[in-house]
Amino acid sequence: MKKVAIIPLRKGSKSIKGKNKKKLLGRPLFSWVLAEAIFSNLDEIYVFTDDEEIIDFVNKHYQWSTKVKTLKRSNENANDVASTESALLEFSNLINHNFDILCLLQATSPLTTSKDINACLNKVIVEGYNSSLSVVRTHRFVWSENGTPVNYDIFNRPRRQDFNGLLIENGAVYAIKKESFLNSKNRLSQNIGLVEMNEDTLTEIDTENDWIVAEQLIKNRLQHQRTAKQIKYLVLDVDGVFTNGTVTFSKDGELSKEFDMRDGMGLEVLREHGVQVFVMTSEDSELVKQRMKKLKIKAGYFGVKDKYALLKSIALNQNIDFNHLAYIGDDINDMAPMCAVGWSFTPNNAMTKIKAIADITLNKESGKGAIREASEFIINYNKRYEC
């Protein structure tokens, strides 16, 4: 049974300019649901948009997943008055209805998880519903505009623990069988199954205030899932970690970067203590590749724009517990992985926003022994796990 998802994105956004590309905890907004879709039971995920920049970004930076595809959305179905249903119908026609289950995922619900997606799929595939959607249970008392209570008796006000509340559509995930979709031309039809998501997923990003709330909710969720364990892996950014963040250019391109030899020795000693070293950088630099080869770092990932998604993919494929990971980063594209791993470090000269989320702000600056300092901390910290 072929399970296909669409993530519809519009280039234009009235409430938040460039919303879908704007960085939420260091990642483009759409990346949050896209990555979770990759890790779900979906077979194909289409980013359906009129934004060429997003299409180019996805095609270049998600090649590590064969599930991800892009499709150009027409201008007619990407204007301010176009409905999501019209986008779904256009998409279905463009792929010649080549699906058994159609799943709609909304980028404005960045707290969606792969488990939520799978639960909606299972409602249709396993439990036999024609369609399904995600909802949130709220324990608010609702009133009509004429002053009448909708869901409780004002003379018998229930306690929260005795009140079932209401289920509210959160707009995050929908799934529907092909026949039901083609007959109804709607995201929901006939027998509809409900999937409850966490209460914090009621937040949809439509305003700047929503953005602030969602970013804090994601940060809290990632950090609360962590448990400090023995550090078995160290992941490092390069510019601003290995180097001081500066580079010398000639007319022919990149000329030089400065690396601290003490950092290299620190990593060598760290490996001798059984800690595996990864390098993950957004830059695709020959100079850096040469330096990593010199340091005998085999696990190097270059030109990575969504570090969190790729790191999660590596961890899943290699059966690595995120709590056994340590991460050294210095800038906004390191924020999400730093919030998620067991231990996070940042050099003393890192961005203020990064210092605010790091477990440890090192005394040393980048390119001046920060990695060596972190290496020594890890070696000493791991001694508590020695038999």
Taking the C-alpha atoms of residue 270 and residue 376, their distance in angstroms, rounded to an integer, is 8
Taking the C-alpha atoms of residue 304 and residue 111, their distance in angstroms, rounded to an integer, is 22
Report the mean per-residue pLDDT for the chain: 93
Residue 275 identity (one-letter amino acid): V
If pLDDT is split at 50, 70 and 90, which confidence band does 287 have? confident
pLDDT of 254 reads: 57
Average pLDDT of the residues in 75-94 = 91
Average pLDDT of the residues in 272-294 = 91
Class of the 3-224 domain? Answer: alpha beta
> Which tens digit of pLDDT belongs to each residue from 221-234?
999 999 989 999 99
pLDDT of 251 reads: 54
Q: What's the DSSP call for residue 143?
A: B
Predicted structure pTM score: 0.93
Nearest by Cα to 35 from 315, 285, 256, 291 = 315
Please give the backbone phi and psi of residue 136, each rounded to the nearest 5 degrees, phi first: -130, 135
If pLDDT is split at 50, 70 and 90, which confidence band does 284 have? confident
> Which tens digit of pLDDT belongs to each residue from 127-170?
999 999 999 999 999 999 999 999 999 999 998 888 888 999 99
Nearest by Cα to 308 from 278, 334, 344 = 334
Domains of the chain, residue spans: 3-224, 233-385
Taking the C-alpha atoms of residue 245 and residue 238, their distance in angstroms, rounded to an integer, is 8
How many Cβ atoms sit within 10 Å of the Cβ of residue 111? 21
pLDDT of 154 reads: 92
Average pLDDT of the residues in 253-279 = 86
> Which tens digit of pLDDT belongs to each residue from 34-81?
999 999 999 999 999 999 999 999 999 999 999 999 999 998 888 888
Q: What 3-state class would DSSP assign to 254? A: strand
Tokens 């929908």 correspond to 174
pLDDT of 13 reads: 78
233-385 CATH fold? Rossmann fold (3.40.50)
Question: Alpha carbon of 257 to those of 1, 251, 265, 289, 345: distances in Å?
Answer: 51, 16, 18, 12, 22
